[in-house]
Amino acid sequence: MINLHLPQRVSLEPFTPEELIRNWEHLRNTRLSKKLRKFALLVAATHLDEARGITVQDIKLLLNCPTIDAAEKRKDEAVKRGLLVPHSTSKMASKNYIFYQIMFML
């Protein structure tokens, strides 16, 4: 059955945050909520513009979270949904500095 609300093709080399998110949604046959989509677009922009993952501190700044704990909560929600995963090469002493990357591939 074809889902008319999801893109029907995946961009092989996504160049924009929107393409990254559309690919992620298409590959998982799901749609992000408005709140999580806004978060994902900001993360994807950082990923593409700066060629890196994000930290909890980045999340705090991007989303104007009042505290690190609030940013951690947003990060945890994205990890739970499979949108972010800990970057395997960036284990630093403080959890606030572990990089997360957006999961747009299988």
Q: What is the pTM of this model?
A: 0.69
Q: How does pLDDT run along the chain (106 residues), one tens digit per residue?
A: 444 454 455 555 667 889 888 888 888 898 988 988 888 898 888 888 888 778 889 999 999 999 999 999 998 888 888 888 876 665 543 454 455 665 544 3
Q: What is the pLDDT of residue 96?
A: 44
Return the pLDDT at 11: 53
Which pair of structure tokens corresponds to residue 16?
């924009």
Joined together, the tokens standing for residue 100 give 């997360």
Residue 86 is predicted with a pLDDT of 77
Is residue 75 within 8 A of residue 100, CB to CB? The reply is yes
Between the CA atoms of 53, 59, 63 and 68, what dihedral angle is there, to the nearest 10 degrees? 180
For domain 17-102, the CATH architecture is Orthogonal Bundle (1.10)
